[in-house]
Structure 1
């Protein structure tokens, strides 16, 4: 049960830092504009990071918007959450924004009391930007992880198609300006690091995987009979199942999954998650004649999620703006083959013919064919699933946590990432051509 403290109560000053040595654990203040109960990859990563670090003995504080609006401080699982006064984002029902008034002063007081080894910002919006500025003013090193792509924002703020290249240029420039003033920058995959370089960011960017809990997400034990029991418990019909887990929002392009299943008699699609695009997907399933083979599970409780993966035969993902995809890693750890769009970071999670296949985005018929290649032979499907598990083992959560601990301590000790130059992209102009 979380321990609640009055929002006006001061956070006790932290004890003096211990010296170096093998038992030294970092003290870190994580700043983020999105954190559970928000439902998105950045929020989940931040929560896994915070609780994983706390489980290893680190002192972890998180500053983020309040999900209810009123400010408060609570402790959950060894992580102290400093929830800022918030307001509706207006563009997304489950995301709230910190009210700017008074935030800087609050962050100054937090830094004074907590005396962290480093702050770790998870985005460059209001909380991350203001925390980075406050930390720099006090000589506290700043670590930043980028989860941002403009494409993941445009559908929410309704940027018209013709203006998106220009809006993307502005967004990348703004991101680079914030990240260039940090000591260390990470992002989940080499592809995501390469994307920053393409946008003119010349500072070293280290790929550090989001990581996956291999004990929690593990393959089904018990064969077809066990799968039937799981499906029955979850209300999933016992037939060949394609699974997607994630937000049902426009940028996830889940309509391609519905259209692919419409080309595959006897195959069903299970969608675990919710979002603004759900109604349109339901209508599409009806118009494609597969309403009886597209199952919407809605939001899945944390405790049931591993079993949702275990009741499937193959995992499919159609998004083209994924910087890693935690859901795909969870599916792989659960022993599922993967069919994914050949876009952004997803190719890092697919070895063609070994654990699944890639398909060209927008080609529902090609997606259907690749899914068919996986499920037509049970032995081949199981072999691919086993290889997915091997690949997922390269992304152990413990390894990612250990690397972040070292980054914090190195930053605190003045060991910073090489920085050959600051962000070099020119300030954006609303003219000419632009790359998104």
Structure 2
């Protein structure tokens, strides 16, 4: 992962509102996952922090230490306050902050920083401890939910019969933590509706995670075919028709459906960019299905190379059924790719059937293959759908999301936000 997450802003940022004592607005972001963690919530939080800093805010991030040892450092204008941590059971790249001593540390930190607002990204250890401390210090709390219980069931090996009960308990716990926030957001209308369906009585505002349309964009329409061949060669991708998935190779992502779909598309390869607990099983599945030569595992892709990975592909595919938005799908759309996605959770918000791609019923790789065939067999269709994807992605500009969060902070401080 790159050490820099500052977004490129094609337009000049607006002047920040003034905080206490006439200083810059100061925001303390609390999160249980932050780079080098590899997941959508971590990446969004980093983009939010660095985007706000670029626009003039004084931004501090509180989260677990990636090494286990506590420290404070500054990365591109964002001050990171890292808490003592231990490995988690859920994901190998995620660590848990250790609660002993944290309460006193938070009281000191809030007293010293005197932030105008606290913005929690999770309701787990860091989020709930920081929200509780902020209320004691009279600091307004904004909360963003990226959580679905389904994303933890497989890593924690929750038995199937217990999952409905575990889900109800998890939603109740989430609602209890978020109930004290001045303003609650989540990435999509579907995610907001899910909270409401689970009994959360407060208003929930959908605010897109946002996408950097400058960093993620397609190759120029008049670019010679040799340009894509050179990109593929540099990244180790064979020069053939390509369906792409970018994300964690964990059980809830259902990447096995993508591998099975490849068996029905003899002239197409699948490129998987990312790592996770299911990689070995997926490699074994590709060999068993006789498509090992057409399933390419890129592993972890650096922050710098990710835009070129999208430019190597012809279509983006995603089979996950617990996506609250899917930043990777937005990045693919901004890169001018058609999308074929599972008809589940928030993914339908990113697909306009027949215009930028298609949906398929989860668990049906044959149907997925048919939808992919409709996209990839005609160059004109791919180009038309890719252009519409880019247009749809333009509705999720990162600058717009940053500006909305700035206004939310101001409303929370003024006490004018929804309650």
The question of a shared fold, defined as TM-score above 0.5 by the shorter chain, is answered with yes
Q: How far 1:234 sits from its partner (Å)?
A: 0.9
Q: Which residues in structure 2 correspond to 1:300-311 (within 5 Å)? A: 300-311=301-312
When normalised by structure 1's length, the TM-score is 0.91
Deviation sequence 1:250-281 (CA, Å, 0-9, x none): 01000000000111101000000001110000
Specify the SS of the correspondent of 2:271: strand
Distance, in Å, in 2 between the alignment partners of 1:50 and 1:316 is: 29
Specify the SS of the correspondent of 1:51: helix
Which residue of structure 2 lines up, in the alignment, with residue 10 of structure 1? none
Q: Which residues in structure 2 correspond to 1:19-418 (within 5 Å)? A: 19=22, 26-221=25-220, 222-417=223-418
1:17 maps to which of 15, 20, 40: 20
Specify the SS of the correspondent of 2:20: coil
Distance, in Å, in 2 between the alignment partners of 1:295 and 1:199 is: 39
Q: How far 1:18 sits from its partner (Å)?
A: 4.8
Q: How far 1:408 sits from its partner (Å)?
A: 0.6
Alignment check: 8 A CA contact 1:25 1:405 kept: no
Alignment check: 8 A CA contact 2:241 2:269 kept: yes
Specify the SS of the correspondent of 1:157: coil
Q: How far 1:90 sits from its partner (Å)?
A: 3.3
Deviation sequence 1:359-378 (CA, Å, 0-9, x none): 00000000000000001110
Alignment check: 8 A CA contact 1:29 1:120 kept: yes
Q: Displaced runs of 4+ in structure 1, greater than 6 A?
A: none
Distance, in Å, in 2 between the alignment partners of 1:59 and 1:134 is: 20
Distance, in Å, in 2 between the alignment partners of 1:62 and 1:92 is: 21
Alignment check: 8 A CA contact 2:356 2:389 kept: yes
Distance, in Å, in 2 between the alignment partners of 1:243 and 1:373 is: 16
Deviation sequence 1:296-341 (CA, Å, 0-9, x none): 0000011100000000000000000000000000000000000000
Alignment check: 8 A CA contact 2:19 2:116 kept: no
Distance, in Å, in 2 between the alignment partners of 1:40 and 1:91 is: 12
Specify the SS of the correspondent of 2:79: strand
Which residue of structure 2 lines up, in the alignment, with residue 427 of structure 1? none
Q: How far 1:25 sits from its partner (Å)?
A: 5.0
Alignment check: 8 A CA contact 2:45 2:121 kept: yes
Distance, in Å, in 1 between the alignment partners of 2:224 and 2:208 is: 31
CA root-mean-square deviation: 1.3
Which residue of structure 1 lines up, in the alignment, with residue 14 of structure 2? none
Alignment check: 8 A CA contact 1:26 1:409 kept: no
Select between 270-279 and 216-225 the one with higher mean Cα deviation.
216-225
Provide structure 2 residue ranges, at least 5 long, that are not aligned to the other structure.
4-17
Q: How far 1:223 sits from its partner (Å)?
A: 4.2
Q: How far 1:413 sits from its partner (Å)?
A: 1.5
Specify the SS of the correspondent of 2:172: helix
Distance, in Å, in 1 between the alignment partners of 2:50 and 2:205 is: 22
Q: How far 1:92 sits from its partner (Å)?
A: 2.4
Distance, in Å, in 1 between the alignment partners of 2:331 and 2:235 is: 18
When normalised by structure 2's length, the TM-score is 0.94
Q: How far 1:138 sits from its partner (Å)?
A: 1.1
Specify the SS of the correspondent of 1:28: strand
Alignment check: 8 A CA contact 1:36 1:43 kept: yes
Deviation sequence 1:394-429 (CA, Å, 0-9, x none): 000000000001111111112121x3xxxxxxxxxx
